[in-house]
Chain A
Amino acid sequence: MTTVLLIFGLLLLVLINVPIAVALGAVALIGMVMSKGLNSIYNAALTMFDGATNFPLLAIPLFILAGALMNTTSISRRLINLTSALIGFVRGGLAMVNVGVSMFFAEISGSAVADVAAIGSVLIPAMKKRNYTPELSAAVTSSSASIAIIIPPSIAMIIYGALSDTSIVQLFVAGIIPGVLGGFSMMGLCYWYAVRYDLPREEAFSLSRLWVAFKEAGWALTLPVIILGGIFGGIVTATEGAGLAVVAALFIGGFIYREINWKHLRKAMVEGVTQTAVVMLLVATSAVLGLHLTEMQVPQQFASWMMSFTSNKYMVLALLNVMLFVVGMFLHGAAAIILIVPIVMPLVHQIGINPIQFGLIMTLNIAIGQQTPPVASVLVTSCSIAKTDIWETTKVNIPFILVLVSVLLLVTYFPPVSLTLVNLFYG
Chain B
Amino acid sequence: MVTRLKKWLERILEFISITLLISLAVIVVLAVVFRFLGQSLIWYDEVASVLLAWLTYYGSALAVCHRGHLGFPGLFLSLPKPLRGVAFIIAEVVVIGFFAVVGYAGWYLLGIFGEETLVSLDWVHLSFTQSVIPIGAVLFILAEALSMPEAWRKSMAGIDFEKEAIDQAIEEASQS
Interface residues of A (CB under 8 A from B): 13-23, 25-26, 29, 41-42, 44-46, 48-49, 52-55, 57-58, 61-62, 65, 71-74, 76, 113-114, 117-118, 120-121, 236, 239-240, 242-244, 246-247, 266, 269-270, 272-274, 276-278, 280-284, 330-332, 334-335, 374-375, 377, 380-381, 384-385
Contacts and interface: CB of A to CB of B under 8 A. Distances in A.
A266 B11 CA distance: 12
27 contacts: A17-B72, A22-B99, A23-B94, A25-B102, A26-B98, A41-B102, A42-B108, A45-B102, A48-B102, A52-B53, A53-B52, A72-B176, A113-B166, A121-B170, A121-B173, A239-B28, A266-B18, A269-B21, A273-B18, A273-B62, A274-B68, A278-B60, A330-B72, A331-B72, A375-B74, A381-B166, A384-B166
A277 B59 contact: yes
A205 to B, nearest CB: 29
A384 B76 contact: no
In order of increasing CB-CB distance, the 6 nearest A-B pairs are A277-B59, A243-B28, A19-B69, A45-B105, A280-B56, A17-B76
B52 A273 contact: no
Contacts of A247: 25, 29
B121 to A, nearest CB: 15
A82 B176 CA distance: 18
Contacts of A46: 109
A193 to B, nearest CB: 24
A71 B174 CA distance: 11
B75 A58 contact: no
Contacts of A17: 71-73, 76-77, 87-88, 91, 155
Interface in B25-79: 25, 28-29, 31-32, 45, 48-50, 52-53, 55-60, 62-63, 66, 68-77
B57 A278 contact: no
Nearest to B63: A274
Given A243-B29, A273-B21, A377 B94 contact: no
B60 A281 contact: yes
A246 B52 contact: no
A272 B167 CA distance: 18
A61 B74 contact: no
A55 B48 contact: yes
Given A242-B28, A246-B25, A281-B56, A20 B169 contact: no
Q: Is the interface of A mostly helix, strand, loop or mixed?
A: helix
A269 B98 contact: no
A278 B63 contact: yes
A23 B90 CA distance: 12
B172 interface: yes
Contact of B69 (A20, A53, A120, A236): A20
Nearest to B76: A17
B12 interface: no
B146 interface: no
Contacts of A62: 24-25, 28
B170 A65 contact: no
Contact of A375 (B72, B77, B172): B72
Contacts of A114: 169, 173
Contacts of B167: 384
Given A15-B72, A20-B70, A375-B74, A117 B172 contact: yes
Given A18-B94, A22-B94, A281-B60, A65 B162 contact: no
Given A16-B90, A48-B102, A282-B70, 14 more contacts: A14-B71, A17-B76, A17-B155, A20-B71, A41-B105, A48-B106, A52-B52, A52-B56, A278-B60, A280-B59, A374-B74, A377-B162, A380-B163, A385-B170
A83 B106 CA distance: 52
A41 B101 contact: yes
A247 B29 CA distance: 8
A334 B70 contact: yes
B95 interface: yes
B52 A58 contact: yes
B126 to A, nearest CB: 10
Contacts of B97: 26
A345 B99 CA distance: 29
Contact of A57 (B45, B52, B90): B52
Interface in B150-176: 155, 162-163, 166-167, 169-170, 172-174, 176
Nearest to B53: A52
A48 B101 CA distance: 12
A51 B66 CA distance: 24
Contacts of A21: 60, 69-70
